[in-house]
A and B are shown apart, each in its own frame.
Chain A
Amino acid sequence: MALGLEASLGDSVLTTKLDAVVNWGRQYSLWPFVFGTACCAIEFMSAAASQLDISRWGAEVVRFSPRQADLLLVCGTISYKQAPILKRIYEQMPEPKWVVAMGACASSGGVYDNYCTVQGIDTIIPVDVYISGCPPRPEAVLDALMDIQDKIKGESVINDRHKDFKGILD
């Protein structure tokens, strides 16, 4: 039985929360920016190819301009030489934005514990979901995508995300 406003307006109007309707839209139209540097990018290619088909989750519109994207997929090793570029691309993306660290290198430096490799991109930019594996299987990319969608569902449109983040380049 309808209550309140819906009771008096009948079937012609639906009421909902702003968060719920905006998040519903955001969840199923993520536009990824693929920051592919290494082996993981090849596995992302597989996730995008016809066998697994990332478009089933509404995230097939791969953009190569950060200004048109809201999901940053960091696929591969980030070296210190690369770090300022990654940070700049992250900053060029409009809010709200989400970040996935794909693979061991992006998550923690992986096997490359040495003088040139950043030990996890979360020292530079905030990360929402980590994918394990070296490289992860393409199914894991889809799993991470669903994790991001779940995360979006629980967020509020009025809160600033990560406004207090401070990385090594800040």
Chain B
Amino acid sequence: MNTTALETIQAAFPGVPCDSTVESVVLTVQPDQLEQTLSKLKNDPALNYGLLLDVTVVDYLEYPDKQEARFAVVYVLRNWESNLLLHVRIPVADPEAGVPSASKFWGSAIWGEREAYDQYGIQFNGHPDLRRILNHWQFEGHPLRKDYPIEKGQICYETDSLEKEIKARLAVNKVDETVMEDINTEIMYLNLGPSHPATHGAIRILTALDGETILANVNEIGYLHRGFEKTAENRTYNQVIPLTDRLNYCSSLMNNIAYAKAVESFLGVEITERAKFMRVILGEFYRILDHLVCLAANLVDMGGLTNYWYLYNQKEASYDFISRLCGARLTSSFTRIGGMYRDFYEGWEAEMEAQLKDIEQGVNDSLALVLKNRIVHDRTQGVCVMPADKALSYGYTGPCLRASGVPFDLRKDNPYYYYETFDFTIPVGSKGDIYDRMMIRYEEMFQSISIIRQAMKQIPKGPVTVDDGQVALPAKDQVYSKIEGLANHFKLVFEGVQVPKGEWYDSYEAANGELGFYFVSDGSGQPYKCKVRPPCFYMMGGFHEMVEGEMIADAVINLGSINIIGGELDR
């Protein structure tokens, strides 16, 4: 935490309570001052908080310390150019009265606030489209409130028609249906999904078409909402790790790392050198796997099935390496708070190197088909463009933001695990079209291979978990021969890692973008609240901006190019 950030904020907002936690400054604002505060934070060039990362709510109903109000809305903001994080915290006593919406400043607030409303029932005044997003429209109550019982399911009998929403969107785009009828054109409404081969999971893309051109688009998500956050509140910190596998299941180990890193950042645990290098190597390896699946599926949608075999076969072969490492193919659960589950097996270096060579071969084979392919160029260049300012407004991060020309990558801008010492570059696009998004993923794979090779040369020997009985399980000989070891083991398994009271946010550059975790701890071994900041949720929130005015067939490949993963999108 740099103290200058705290001083800058204090100077800009005299008299407003200001605090700091891990890497962020926390600003507590009353609802009536919220609008001017947010406006200043975004527009003042000295502050320049251009990225609204996440919106969430904390329900203090069962919190041991008395709070000012039952709820607090939290906006997590980032100044990406100077690497500054800020939480704007608004105490809310009456959820019906609510707070003013931030959607006029940031596009990402539209979906972020909808989720906050859906899960906690906080009203956002002035929000253009405040309705449920993750839960179905027949749902009653707000599941993440502490007084909502976790097992109380509610049956949904039919799907929402979305007629009102698509008509509203048509009006925003100034399409008048009566005028269309006058010139003998009828608007056709077409649903892609919820069960459609091109949606890569379960998303519903409702479009209003004039011929093949998309006039308006409304998207519905939440079909794979499986209550990650509520479930996590009922588990110990280490028990949440298997759940994180199932967020972005194409790169499960990256979620494990992001989660463990977030908990360790608040605990102040410094993991061992070998564990850091393991996390770099495995994190980059999974970045490659994630990009392989994304590109394979994207190219299948475009009609290039051969690419699927070239790319997916390498992923399939990589599973053999992974299952030798952690026993599972897809769901790794390989990190623990305070280190890794276990060390690499003997002879992993040779196998990893062989695997990297194969991946290079597969990617080069695929590139040979794609790079100079006129059909690929025509279908992707200049199609579904996302300009940089809009991308930032909608909270884009990762390859999709870099495709729009914003060189923001946490590995460079907020380095962890010695990323500052590795020699690698961040590919940046020029246009923000589908072509850029695809090519950035291709290039990132080569960069990741280079990082892995550098890390493999430097990885030191030593333990992979910290030697601290309060955080990591003691060695088995300690458990069986010493009472302290046995007691530590028992307490860690039954009660979990004891995390002191507090609230914090920590993030990690996952394959899809900034994967963040917002925690509230009540001092026990279970998180009081654990909110995920999923990168693809906010990317889907800006999807309509990309596809409106384009052809329906482009919407399909655009969806592939932003790499939507249901588990992470809906949690």
Contacts and interface: CB of A to CB of B under 8 A. Distances in A.
B321 to A, nearest CB: 14
Contacts, number: 125
Contacts of A36: 201
B194 A117 contact: no
B566 A38 contact: yes
A83 to B, nearest CB: 6
Nearest to B196: A64
Nearest to A35: B195
Q: Pick the most buried of A35, A43, A82, A137: most chain B CB atoms within 10 A of its CB.
A: A82
Nearest to B158: A84
Contacts of B570: 79
B313 A50 contact: yes
B202 A82 contact: yes
Interface in A126-156: 134-135, 137
B227 A82 contact: no
Contact of A38 (B143, B158, B196, B567): B567
Most A CB contacts (10 A, CB to CB) among B154, B249, B331 go to: B249
B316 A51 contact: yes
B136 A112 contact: no
Contacts of A115: 143, 148-154, 227, 230
A111 interface: yes
A113 interface: yes
Interface centre among A39, A85, A137 (most CB of B within 10 A): A39
B226 A77 contact: yes
Interface in B196-243: 196-197, 201-202, 222-227, 230-231, 242-243
Interface string A36-49: 11110111011001
Given A64-B196, A81-B223, A85-B194, A134 B331 contact: yes
Interface residues of B, number: 48
B245 to A, nearest CB: 8
B202 A39 contact: no
B225 A81 contact: yes
A89 B224 CA distance: 17
Nearest to A89: B195
A80 interface: yes
A84 B330 contact: no
A169 interface: yes
A79 B224 contact: yes
A89 B331 CA distance: 29
A116 B143 contact: yes
Contacts of A76: 224, 566
A79 B520 CA distance: 27
B246 interface: yes
A39 B224 CA distance: 11
A71 to B, nearest CB: 15
Interface residues of A, number: 39
A79 B223 contact: yes
Interface string B131-162: 00011100100010000111111111111000
Contact of B153 (A41, A49, A116): A116
A45 B294 CA distance: 13
Nearest to B132: A81
Given A51-B316, A112-B231, A85 B195 contact: yes
Interface string A66-92: 000000000011011111110001000
A9 interface: no
Nearest to B293: A42
A43 B312 contact: no
Given A37-B201, A114-B150, A116-B143, A84 B157 contact: yes
A114 B151 contact: yes
Contacts of A114: 150-151, 153, 226-227, 230-231
A97 B150 CA distance: 35
B189 interface: no
Given A37-B201, A50-B313, A115-B230, A83 B246 contact: no
A112 B230 CA distance: 10
A134 B313 CA distance: 22
A135 B159 CA distance: 28
A2 interface: no
A158 interface: no
B302 to A, nearest CB: 17
A43 B330 contact: yes
A7 interface: no
B537 to A, nearest CB: 16
B329 interface: yes
Contacts of A43: 329-330
A139 B530 CA distance: 35
Contact of A111 (B154, B195, B202, B242): B242
A113 B194 CA distance: 23
B250 interface: yes
B135 A39 contact: no
A168 B156 CA distance: 10
A97 to B, nearest CB: 16
Given A38-B246, A46-B316, A81 B195 contact: no
B424 interface: no
A38 to B, nearest CB: 6
Nearest to A86: B195
Nearest to B249: A39
A82 B313 contact: no
Nearest to A118: B153
8 contacts: A38-B249, A43-B329, A46-B316, A46-B319, A82-B202, A84-B158, A84-B159, A137-B329
Interface of B: 134-136, 139, 143, 148-159, 194-197, 201-202, 222-227, 230-231, 242-243, 246, 249-250, 293, 309, 312-313, 316, 319, 329-331, 566-567, 570
Q: 7 closest Cβ contacts across the A-B interface?
A: A114-B227, A39-B249, A81-B136, A64-B197, A112-B226, A82-B223, A80-B156
Interface of A: 35-39, 41-43, 45-46, 49-51, 64, 76-77, 79-85, 89, 105, 111-119, 134-135, 137, 168-169
Given A114-B231, A116-B135, 14 more contacts: A37-B224, A37-B566, A38-B201, A39-B567, A42-B293, A76-B224, A79-B225, A80-B155, A81-B156, A82-B224, A113-B231, A115-B227, A118-B153, A134-B331
